[in-house]
Amino acid sequence: MRLDGKVALITGGASGIGLATVRKFVREGAKVLIADINFDQAQAAADDIAGEGFQGNVAAVGVNVAVFAEVEAAVARAVEVFGRLDVIFNNAGIAGGRPLLDHDPDVDYAPMIRIDQDGVYYGILAAGRQFRDQGTGGVIISTSSIYGEQAAELAFTYSAAKAAVISFTRSAAYELAEFGVRAVAITPGRVGTAIINQFSDELKTTFASEQMRNVMTEPEEIANVVAFLASDESNVINGTVVHVDDGYSSFKKRLDLPTF
């Protein structure tokens, strides 16, 4: 098991990519603290996983990643429960948007920046300090997005926040290398989570067509990559962006080719 003995904190861990990653990490031998703004959902997930034969390997904590003190407390809780911290997966986030000129900054800018951008910064800072104090190194993995590298419809604020995650990752890798810490960002494309699955079948078909295989990515497929990045097998992957988008960022649009 590639994560045997490691302790991880996963934000947004009660659903979607986060929950799939919690399950993957536990199966790979890690002990995991599920951190989520919905504590009841996080605790239910922890109880469910523990009941599958992983008693003592998973716990839950409520956290609003937009509040630094709560992120610090989540890191401290991981150490209290499991004795150390080896990996943080800054995955919590929200989506949505509207045309720029229709923005209400208090609604369409500030909340997303606080969660998708500041929340990652807080996770990097709190975990980075813990890794330094432990003297054992660590891994920081943060969820950016394909939107963090390109413009898209209704995504002015979201794209900015996700671009910041990429910049944070590069800078964290540079500054924390002396403490044996690696930092990596992932950029998911169209993933079949509740955020996307709420849309019509027609729109989901359009989303799927934006990826190379014409299918939506499953959360478990992202979790597989995150587990690899958290493991010692990826020791030379540092300060970079790992595209987990099934080719979304490699092309613009499929065309019906003309007859020549």
pLDDT average, residue stretch 79-87: 98
The C-alpha atoms of residue 26 and residue 155 are separated, in whole angstroms, by: 34
Residue 258 reports pLDDT greater than 80: no
For residue 141, give every residue at least 6 positions away whose Cβ sits within 8 Å of its Cβ, in sequence order, or none: 87, 88, 89, 90, 183, 184, 185, 186, 226, 229, 230
Structure tokens at 3: 């994560």
Q: Are 142 and 169 in contact (CB under 8 A)?
A: yes
Rounded average pLDDT over 96-104: 95
Residue 192 has pLDDT above 70, yes or no: yes
71 band by pLDDT with thresholds 50, 70 and 90: very high
In the set 121, 122, 147, 158, the catalytic residue is: 158
Q: Cα–Cα distance between 96 and 77 in angstroms, integer?
A: 31
Q: Classify domain 7-191+220-242 by CATH architecture.
A: 3-Layer(aba) Sandwich (3.40)
Is residue 193 a contact partner of residue 150, using CB atoms and an 8 Å limit? no
Q: What is the pLDDT of residues 103-154, one digit of tens each?
A: 999 999 999 999 999 999 999 999 999 999 999 999 999 999 999 999 988 9
Helix axis angle, 16-27 relative to 39-49, nearest 10°? 30
Answer whether residue 166 shows pLDDT above 90. Answer: yes
pLDDT reported for residue 260: 67
Give the pLDDT confidence of 2-29 residue by residue, as tens digits. 999 999 999 999 999 999 999 999 999 9
User: The tokens of 260 are what?
Assistant: 């020549």
Separation CA 170–CA 32 (nearest Å): 25
CA distance 247 to 245: 5
Q: Is 158 one of the catalytic residues?
A: yes
Please give the model's pTM, rounded to 2 decimal places: 0.96
